[in-house]
Structure 1
C-alpha cells in the first residue's frame, strides 16, 4: 500500500513522541544529550507537551505519514511539525530540560541554535520546519520526502521562504529538495566524551530562487 500523507491531530501526540524517541536512538550524540535515566512517563509527558502546543499555538501544522497495511496503532510511521509565520515569529522563550537530559550539553547545543535562528531569520515571515522524525524501522521509504514536500508547497502558495535546522543524517535529504546551507553550527561536546563536533546546518528554501 502506498504511503499516505494525512493531517495529524492531538490523538497522534503519543505516537509522535514515540517516533521522536526512537529516531534519536541511533544518533551518536544522544547518550551525551539525553543520557537518562528517564521516568516511565517520559514519552507520555512529551506527547502531552506536543499536544498542549498544538492547542495554544495557531501557527502549528501537524502532518503524519501512514502505512495502512500496518496494525492499528502502528500505522503512523513519520511525523512533522511545521510553523506558518504569516506574522513575525514569536520571541524565544526560556528553555528547560527534564529529568534524564544533560542540561548543560543541551543548552550548549539548543541554546546556540535558538540564537542562530533568531539572528538569521528573526522577524521574517516564513515557514519553519520544527520537527521531522521517521520511525527507524521505516526509514528509506520516502516518508521524510513526503513531509518535506508539504511544507515546500505551502511556502510556494504563500510566497514565503522556508527555514530549518538539519542534522547530518537529514542534510542530504533537504539538499535534494532544493534547500541550501546558510551556516553550520558546531558544538564541542568533548567534555562529555564526544570524539567529533556536533554539527547542525541552518538551511533555507526560497521558492523565488528555485523558480529563477
Structure 2
C-alpha cells in the first residue's frame, strides 16, 4: 500500500460516503439513527454530506488514496483551519448541485431525526464551550476497514498536525472509542466525555464520545 494525501474531488464522493458507512455502522449511535436500514438506503445521506463539505470553502476535505491500487480512496478527513479558506474548494457539477440541493430529499424513511439532531446540538454546545477563535477542528476522520492498521489514519492526522504546528494552533475533536487510542498516541487529551443516551428518543442504550484537544506545541 502506497498512500497519498490530497484534496478530495467530486469523483471521490461515492467512496467517501461508503467509507463513512463502513467505518461507523457498528456503533450504537448508528443503529439508533438508522435502525434496520441497509447501506443502500443510507449512502445518499453520506454522499450528500461529502459533496456539501467539499463545496464549503471553510472546510478542507482530504482523501487518502492508495496509489498502488489505482488511486483507490481508503480514507478521508475534514479539517477547519480558522481564517483560511480551502484553496481547492470543489466547484460542483450541475448534477452534484442537484444532489446537494435538499438534504431532506435523501434522508431515508425510518431515520431517527430526534437522535440525529440531539447529537449535533450537543456537539455544537460543547464546541462553543471549548473551541477558541484560533483553534483548528478535526471534524471527521475515517479509514476504510480494509485499510485500517496500515497508517492511513496517521497520515491523515499528520496533515492536520503539520498545519497546526505551522500556526502554533490547538486542534479540537470529538472521538469515538475506536478513534480514541490514535488521538491519545499523538498528543490529544480528554476535556470531557459526552454521553449520548438514546432511550429518551425511543432508541436503545448509550454511546460515549471523547471531547479532546491537542495543545499548541510551542509556548
TM-score (norm 1): 0.82
**Corresponding position of 2:119:** 109
Q: Who is 1:33 aligned against?
A: 33
Alpha-carbon deviation of 1:38?
6.2
**Following superposition of structure 1 onto structure 2, how do residues 85-164 of structure 1 map, counting pairs within 5 Å?**
85-86=82-83, 98-99=107-108, 100-121=110-131, 124-164=133-173
Residues 79 and 43 (structure 1 numbering): CA distance in 2 closer, same or farther, change over 3 Å? Answer: same
Residues in 2 aligned to 1:23 and 1:13: alpha-carbon distance in whole angstroms: 15
Preserved contact between residue 191 and residue 210 of structure 2 (Cα < 8 Å):
yes
- The alpha carbon displacement at 1:29 in A equals 3.3
Secondary structure of the structure 2 residue equivalent to 1:12: helix
Partner of 1:7: 7
> 1:158: how far off?
1.6
Aligned residues: 197
Give unpaired runs (5+ residues) of structure 2.
85-102
Aligned-residue offset at 1:39:
9.1
Q: Give TM-score, length-normalised by structure 2.
A: 0.79
The yes-or-no answer on 1:58 pairing with 2:57 is yes
Q: Deviations over 1:113-136 (max 9, x none)?
A: 111111211x51221111111111
**Equivalent of 1:81, from 59, 65, 78?**
78
- 1:15 and 1:204 map into 2 onto residues whose CA distance is 29
- The Cα shift of 1:200 comes to 0.8
Which SS does the other structure have where 1:137 is aligned? helix
Give the Cα–Cα distance (whole angstroms) in 2 for the partners of residues 5 and 135 of structure 1: 14
Root-mean-square deviation (CA, aligned residues, Å) is 2.4
Residue 68 of structure 2 aligns to a residue whose secondary structure is coil
